Structure 1
Amino acid sequence: MRWTLKQNPEKEKVEKLAKDLQVNKTIATILCQRNIETFDQAKSFFRPSLEDIHDPFLMKDMDLAVERIEKAIANNENILIYGDYDVDGTTAVSLVASYLKTIHPNIATYIPDRYAEGYGVSYIGIDFAHDNDFSLIIALDCGIKAIEKVAYASEKNIDFIICDHHKPGDKIPEAVAVLNAKRDDCTYPFDELCGCGVGFKLIQALGSKRNQNIEDFIPYLDLVATAIAADIVPMNGENRVLAYYGLQVINENPRNGIKAIIHQTKKTTLTITDVVFIIAPRINAAGRMKHGNYAVELLTEMDFDSAVEFAAAIEIFNADRKDLDKKITDQALIQIIDNEEENCFTSVVYQEDWHKGVIGIVASRLIETYYRPTLVFTKSGDKLAASARSVKGFDVYNALHECEEFIEQFGGHKYAAGLTLLPENYQNFKNKFEEVVKNTINKELLTPEISVDATIELSEITPKFFRIIEQMAPFGPMNMKPTFVSTCVRDNGYGKQVGADKSHLKLNVFQGDNKQTFGAIGFGLGNKIEHVKNDFDIVYALDENEWNGHKSIQLVLKDLK
Structure 2
Amino acid sequence: MRWTLQPKQDPKLIQELSTSLGVDPLISQLLIQRGITTFQEAKQFFRPSLDELHDPFLMKDMELAVKRIENAIANEENILIYGDYDVDGTTSVALVSSYLKSYYPNVATYIPDRYDEGYGISYKGIDFASDNDFSLIIALDCGIKAVDKVAYASEKGIDFIICDHHRPGTEIPKATAVLDPKREDCDYPYKELCGCGVGFKLIQALSVKRNLKTEDLLLYLDLVATAIGADIVPITGENRVLAYYGLKVINSHPRTGFKAILQQIKKDTLTITDVVFIIAPRINAAGRMKHGNHAVTLLVETDMNAAAVWAQEIEEFNTDRREADKRITEEALRKIKNNGETERITTVVYDEAWHKGVIGIVASRLTETYYRPTLVFTKSGEKLAASARSVSGFDVYNALEGCAEYIEQFGGHKYAAGLTLFEKDYENFKAAFEKVVQETIDPKLLKPELKIDAEINLKDITPKFYRILKQFAPFGPGNMTPVFMSQNLVDVGFGKCVGDDKSHLRVVVKQENSNQFTGIGFGMGDKHDIACTGKPFKAAYVIDENEWNGTVSLQLRLKDIKA
Give the alignment's TM-score, normalised by structure 2: 0.99
Does the 8 A contact of 1:8 with 1:33 survive in 2? Answer: no
- The CA distance in 2 between the partners of 1:105 and 1:485, in whole Å, is 57
- The CA distance in 2 between the partners of 1:101 and 1:480, in whole Å, is 37
**Structure 1 segment 95-114 matched on structure 2, within 5 A:** 95-114=95-114
Specify the SS of the correspondent of 1:126: helix
Specify the SS of the correspondent of 1:375: strand
Give the letter for the 1:84 counterpart: D
Post-superposition Cα deviations, 1:296-349, rounded to whole Å, max 9, x if no partner, equal: 000000101111110110001101100110000000000010011111100110
Aligned length: 560
The worse-fitting range, judged by mean Cα deviation, of 372-381 and 9-18 is 9-18
The worse-fitting range, judged by mean Cα deviation, of 84-93 and 431-440 is 431-440
* Structure 1 residue aligned with 2:522: 523
* Structure 2 residue aligned with 1:269: 269
Specify the SS of the correspondent of 1:169: coil
Give the letter for the 2:516 counterpart: T
Does the 8 A contact of 1:335 with 1:349 survive in 2? Answer: yes
Does the 8 A contact of 1:121 with 1:142 survive in 2? Answer: yes
**Structure 1 segment 267-306 matched on structure 2, within 5 A:** 267-306=267-306
Give the letter for the 2:319 counterpart: A
Shift of 1:409: 0.5
* Structure 2 residue aligned with 1:22: 22
Post-superposition Cα deviations, 1:141-186, rounded to whole Å, max 9, x if no partner, equal: 0000000000000000000000000001111100000001111111
- The CA distance in 2 between the partners of 1:353 and 1:500, in whole Å, is 33
- The CA distance in 2 between the partners of 1:128 and 1:468, in whole Å, is 53
- The CA distance in 2 between the partners of 1:526 and 1:230, in whole Å, is 30
* Structure 2 residue aligned with 1:50: 50
Structure 1 stretches of 4+ moved >3 Å? none
Shift of 1:55: 1.0
* Structure 1 residue aligned with 2:171: 171
Asked if 1:413 corresponds to 2:395, the answer is no
- The CA distance in 1 between the partners of 2:382 and 2:325, in whole Å, is 23
Give the letter for the 1:537 counterpart: K
Post-superposition Cα deviations, 1:102-130, rounded to whole Å, max 9, x if no partner, equal: 11101100000000000000000000000
- The CA distance in 2 between the partners of 1:257 and 1:66, in whole Å, is 29
Specify the SS of the correspondent of 2:516: strand
* Structure 1 residue aligned with 2:537: 536
- The CA distance in 1 between the partners of 2:39 and 2:194, in whole Å, is 29
**Structure 1 segment 208-287 matched on structure 2, within 5 A:** 208-287=208-287
Give the letter for the 2:3 counterpart: W
Give the letter for the 1:553 counterpart: L
* Structure 1 residue aligned with 2:548: 547
Does the 8 A contact of 1:163 with 1:178 survive in 2? Answer: yes
Post-superposition Cα deviations, 1:216-273, rounded to whole Å, max 9, x if no partner, equal: 0000000000000000000000000000000000000011011111111000000000
* Structure 2 residue aligned with 1:354: 354
* Structure 2 residue aligned with 1:160: 160
Shift of 1:531: 0.7
- The CA distance in 2 between the partners of 1:246 and 1:48, in whole Å, is 12
Shift of 1:277: 0.3
Asked if 1:89 corresponds to 2:92, the answer is no
Give the letter for the 2:275 counterpart: V
* Structure 2 residue aligned with 1:364: 364
* Structure 1 residue aligned with 2:558: 557
- The CA distance in 2 between the partners of 1:371 and 1:189, in whole Å, is 34
- The CA distance in 2 between the partners of 1:134 and 1:513, in whole Å, is 72
Give the letter for the 1:423 counterpart: E
- The CA distance in 2 between the partners of 1:214 and 1:67, in whole Å, is 19
Specify the SS of the correspondent of 1:557: strand
Give the letter for the 1:556 counterpart: R
The worse-fitting range, judged by mean Cα deviation, of 321-330 and 526-535 is 526-535
* Structure 1 residue aligned with 2:71: 71
Give the letter for the 2:557 counterpart: V
Give the letter for the 1:117 counterpart: E
Matched residues, percent identical? 67
The answer for unaligned runs of 5 or more in structure 2 is none
- The CA distance in 2 between the partners of 1:284 and 1:272, in whole Å, is 16
**Structure 1 segment 474-553 matched on structure 2, within 5 A:** 474-514=474-514, 516-532=515-531, 533=533, 534-553=535-554
**Structure 1 segment 424-463 matched on structure 2, within 5 A:** 424-463=424-463
- The CA distance in 2 between the partners of 1:359 and 1:95, in whole Å, is 27
The worse-fitting range, judged by mean Cα deviation, of 473-482 and 20-29 is 20-29
* Structure 2 residue aligned with 1:134: 134
- The CA distance in 2 between the partners of 1:503 and 1:177, in whole Å, is 54
Shift of 1:507: 1.2
Specify the SS of the correspondent of 1:560: strand
Specify the SS of the correspondent of 2:541: strand
Shift of 1:209: 1.3
Shift of 1:429: 0.5
Give the letter for the 2:525 counterpart: G
Post-superposition Cα deviations, 1:460-486, rounded to whole Å, max 9, x if no partner, equal: 000011011100000000000111000
Does the 8 A contact of 1:489 with 1:510 survive in 2? Answer: yes
Give the letter for the 1:381 counterpart: G
Shift of 1:513: 3.4
Shift of 1:293: 0.3
Give the letter for the 2:542 counterpart: A
- The CA distance in 2 between the partners of 1:6 and 1:255, in whole Å, is 40
* Structure 1 residue aligned with 2:37: 37
Give the letter for the 2:391 counterpart: V
- The CA distance in 2 between the partners of 1:285 and 1:126, in whole Å, is 25
Give the letter for the 1:10 counterpart: D
- The CA distance in 2 between the partners of 1:231 and 1:505, in whole Å, is 31
Give the letter for the 2:539 counterpart: I
- The CA distance in 2 between the partners of 1:138 and 1:501, in whole Å, is 51
- The CA distance in 2 between the partners of 1:24 and 1:519, in whole Å, is 24
The answer for unaligned runs of 5 or more in structure 1 is none
Post-superposition Cα deviations, 1:187-215, rounded to whole Å, max 9, x if no partner, equal: 11101100000000101111111111011
Give the letter for the 2:215 counterpart: E
Post-superposition Cα deviations, 1:374-427, rounded to whole Å, max 9, x if no partner, equal: 000000001000000000000000000000111101000000000001101111
Shift of 1:93: 0.2
- The CA distance in 2 between the partners of 1:383 and 1:503, in whole Å, is 41
Shift of 1:24: 1.3
The worse-fitting range, judged by mean Cα deviation, of 118-127 and 504-513 is 504-513
Post-superposition Cα deviations, 1:60-99, rounded to whole Å, max 9, x if no partner, equal: 1111000000000011100000000000000000000000
- The CA distance in 2 between the partners of 1:45 and 1:530, in whole Å, is 42
- The CA distance in 2 between the partners of 1:275 and 1:501, in whole Å, is 28
Asked if 1:340 corresponds to 2:340, the answer is yes
Shift of 1:439: 1.4
Give the letter for the 1:498 counterpart: V
